[in-house]
């Protein structure tokens, strides 16, 4: 972690602000825990050890993990999170004043306005509200990994960056000194630092105080159905045309996963309709179920976890081929790649059966999430 942006100081200010609010009589409905990790550059040691030591407590009680690593520019907020939190991260951004004078001069009064202007929604998200900017999934190389991949706790990773480049030449060099930050990156009285802190605080307050947790299960389900699965279906269909026998079991299992996913979509929509039509007395009942949806996708023995025990999330754990870039269903896609590169049909037959198993693992998780949201009579 370079000296250009030390999140600990911003975190300390956020903590101080909450402490002042408590002195004035405010109390969060849910507990806020402030953590500062060591050993990030050496393998995410601090955060990983914490997650492993307190795994049961975190899985039972933690709702969300908010991560700030560093900042490499002063142009726009950029947020990475999972689909169930899209609405929440947008809502919080709309409440934070824009720290950049040139952006305010363009009529962009909040950090959301600049974010939406520079990172408009792209891809097949026609079902999603148009006010949601482009939001990537969390990748690797920073401290949120164990929370999401090992325990299935939803995470938000946010920073400021420039639209045309992700880093800069002084990154991780001896020239990353406070002068760079104060005179090049954040020369307007550390206004970008302040905005990061305000966004951090608003996200924490939102999840601490909302009677109904701002977790959007239907957005999660629709993204899975409309964005994650179609590419795999197309891949399997193309391979099935060339190797019908070898790919047969996987194609059959893919149909099962497809059907179960759309049942999941329907159940999330029914759940949300029921929750919003009932009284606030049911908020605790709904919150318990919403928290468990993501945990349904944690499998400690199958998928990537069969070989790497820390990669337990069947949707979002990172592929061995690229431990930095975000990916979806890495175990499935890695197996498809192996199938394509197989030396002979005998090996393809074996890999096709293994692929069917990986798809079944995902289907089981989707079934779990569907059942979690159903009333149990």
Does the domain made of 217-372 have the CATH classification 3.60.90.10? no
Residue 3 pLDDT: 41
Cβ atoms 334, 151 nearer than 8 A: no
Helices (H) and strands (E) in the chain, counts: 15, 3
Using one digit for the tens of pLDDT, what is the confidence trace for 285-342?
Answer: 899 999 999 999 999 888 887 888 888 999 999 888 887 888 899 999 999 999 999 9
Is 6 tagged catalytic?
Answer: no
Class for the domain spanning 7-209:
alpha beta
The alpha carbon of residue 321 and the mean position of all alpha carbons in its chain are separated, in whole angstroms, by 20
Domain ranges of the chain: 7-209, 217-372
Lowest-pLDDT range of 18-32, 210-224, 270-284: 270-284
pLDDT exceeds 90 at position 126: no
Q: Which two tokens stand for residue 92?
A: 């919080």
| Three-state secondary structure of 80-126 | EECHHHHHHHHHHHCCCECCCHHHHHCCCCEHHHHHHHHCCCCCCCC
Output 210 or 318, whichever has higher pLDDT: 210
Among residues 6, 40, 310, 338, which one is catalytic? 40
- Contact, 355 vs 336, CB < 8 A? yes
d(CA 49, CA 146): 9
Q: Could you tell me where the beta strands, DSSP code E, fall in the chain? A: 65-67, 76-81, 155-161
What number is the average pLDDT over the span 73-81?
A: 93
Q: What's the pTM?
A: 0.93
pLDDT for residue 354 is more than 90: yes
Quote the pLDDT of residue 169.
78
H-assigned helices in the chain: 7-23, 45-53, 55-61, 86-93, 101-105, 111-118, 145-151, 178-180, 191-209, 217-223, 229-242, 244-277, 283-295, 330-340, 345-372
Report phi then psi at 155, rounded to 5. Answer: -130, 155
pLDDT at residue 2 in the model:
39
Region 259-281 average pLDDT: 87
Model confidence at 1, in pLDDT bands (50, 70, 90)?
very low
Kindly state the tokens that stand for 224.
């899975």
pLDDT of residue 30: 96
Q: What are the pLDDT digits (tens) for 151-163?
A: 999 999 999 988 8
Summarize the confidence of residues 132-156 as an average pLDDT.
Answer: 93
pLDDT of residue 281: 53
């Amino acid at each position: 972690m370079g000296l250009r942006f030390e999140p600990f100081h911003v975190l300390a200010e956020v903590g101080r602000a909450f402490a002042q609010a408590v002195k004035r009589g405010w109390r969060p409905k849910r507990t806020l825990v402030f953590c500062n990790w060591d050993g990030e550059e050496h393998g995410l040691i601090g955060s990983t050890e914490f997650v492993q030591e307190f795994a049961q407590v975190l899985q039972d009680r933690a709702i969300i993990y908010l991560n700030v690593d560093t900042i490499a520019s002063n142009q726009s907020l950029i947020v990475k999170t999972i689909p169930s939190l899209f609405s929440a991260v947008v809502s919080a951004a709309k409440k934070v004043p824009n720290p950049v004078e040139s952006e305010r001069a363009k009529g962009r009064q909040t950090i959301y306005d600049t974010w939406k202007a520079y990172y408009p929604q792209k891809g097949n998200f026609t079902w999603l509200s148009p006010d949601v900017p482009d939001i990537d999934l969390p990748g690797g190389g920073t401290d949120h990994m164990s929370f999401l991949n090992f325990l299935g706790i939803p995470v938000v990773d946010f920073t400021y960056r420039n639209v045309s480049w992700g880093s800069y030449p002084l990154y991780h060099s001896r020239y990353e000194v406070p002068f760079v930050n104060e005179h090049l990156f954040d020369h307007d009285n550390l206004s970008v630092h302040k905005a990061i802190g305000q966004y951090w605080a608003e996200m924490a307050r939102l999840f601490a105080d909302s009677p109904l947790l701002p977790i959007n299960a239907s957005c999660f389900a629709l993204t899975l159905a409309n964005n994650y699965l179609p590419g795999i279906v197309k891949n399997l269909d193309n391979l099935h045309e060339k190797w019908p026998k070898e790919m047969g079991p996987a194609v059959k299992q893919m149909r099962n996963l497809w059907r179960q996913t759309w049942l999941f979509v329907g159940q999330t929509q029914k759940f949300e309709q029921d929750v919003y039509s009932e009284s606030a007395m049911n908020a605790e009942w709904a919150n318990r179920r919403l928290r468990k949806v993501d945990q349904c996708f944690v499998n400690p023995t199958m998928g990537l976890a069969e070989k790497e025990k820390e990669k337990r999330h069947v949707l979002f754990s990172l592929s061995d081929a690229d431990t930095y870039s975000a990916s979806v269903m890495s175990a499935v896609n890695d197996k498809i790649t192996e199938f394509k590169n197989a030396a002979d049909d005998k090996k393809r037959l074996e890999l096709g059966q293994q692929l069917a198993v990986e798809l079944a693992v995902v289907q089981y998780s989707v079934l779990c999430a569907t059942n979690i949201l159903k009333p149990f009579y």
